A and B are shown apart, each in its own frame.
Chain A
Amino acid sequence: MSALAGNYTYYITAFLLAIGLYGMIGKKNLLKKLIGMNIFQTAIFLFFIHGAVKPGTTVPVLDSRIGMDAAAYINPLPHVLILTAIVVSVATTGVALALLITIYRRYGSLEETTILERMKQSS
């Protein structure tokens, strides 16, 4: 398994994805599901950023001592994608929290089973 030594961060990312997925489907509290979604998003960011690294190169800010050689800088495209994705994830977490506050004010609880019971009683 020589691939294990080269791509070990991929396995760590897959492990974090599994933890996030467990938080989303295995827990019954709505806030814990939201935290699971955030862990999932963080694992995706780490996977993208790891895909941009080349050994022996430096950050993609042009340095006059290195010149404009394309093989001396890491790939800038994944960094561009993840920059906006991080701020978008903060904004969507804000919207999810607003929905959770509305649910709490309406039903008095954040546990999935309790909310379903109260929905059946009130309908």
Chain B
Amino acid sequence: MNWYTAIVLALFFGLLVYAERDLPDSSDASSPARTHVAPTYIEQSYEDTRTPNIVTSVLADYRGYDTLGETVVILTAGLAVILILPRSDRRR
């Protein structure tokens, strides 16, 4: 590891440690990540979708559009590998 790599890594780690003081405490129940829309999802999930698993109902119903986009990303990765590395025995 030469010296400029070490300086870059030290600066990076120092920046992350300095940014830590702005994060809310991990046991804080009034932080924005926990009060904006998550309680609505937990309380309305069984009434709206009859699904006990809240993660599945959020993934496929409340945020179904994002899951569609991510699935297309996975398919595009498969398509890219077919184009970069074609097999020699693909029947045309």
Q: Shortest CB–CB separation between residue A102 and chain B, in angstroms?
A: 6
A76's partner among B16, B17, B54 (CB-CB below 8 A) is: B54
Q: Are B13 and A14 in contact (CB under 8 A)?
A: yes
Cβ of B34 < 8 Å from any Cβ of A?
yes
The secondary structure that dominates the B interface is helix
A21–B8 Cα distance when bound, in Å, is 10
Q: Which residue of B lies closest to A13 (CB)?
A: B16
A15–B34 Cα distance when bound, in Å, is 26
Q: Shortest CB–CB separation between residue A68 and chain B, in angstroms?
A: 5
Cβ of A17 < 8 Å from any Cβ of B?
yes
Given that A7-B26, A70-B38, A70-B39 are contacting pairs, would A14 and B55 also be in contact in the complex, using a CB cutoff of 8 Å? no
Contacts of A77 in B (CB 8 A): 33, 37-38, 41, 58
A15–B14 Cα distance when bound, in Å, is 10
Q: Are A88 and B42 in contact (CB under 8 A)?
A: no
Cβ of B65 < 8 Å from any Cβ of A?
no
Contacts of A91 in B (CB 8 A): 73-74, 77-78
Within 8 A of B (CB), among A1-59: 3, 6-7, 9-11, 14-15, 17-18, 21-22, 25-26, 50-55
Which residues of A are interface residues toward B (Cβ below 8 A)?
A: 3, 6-7, 9-11, 14-15, 17-18, 21-22, 25-26, 50-55, 60-63, 68, 70-71, 73, 75-80, 83-85, 87-88, 91-92, 94-95, 98-99, 101-102
A/B interface sample: 27 pairs, CB < 8 A: A3-B21, A14-B16, A14-B20, A15-B13, A17-B16, A18-B13, A21-B8, A22-B5, A51-B26, A51-B33, A54-B29, A60-B54, A70-B42, A75-B34, A77-B33, A77-B58, A80-B55, A83-B55, A84-B66, A84-B67, A84-B70, A88-B70, A91-B74, A91-B78, A94-B77, A98-B80, A102-B84
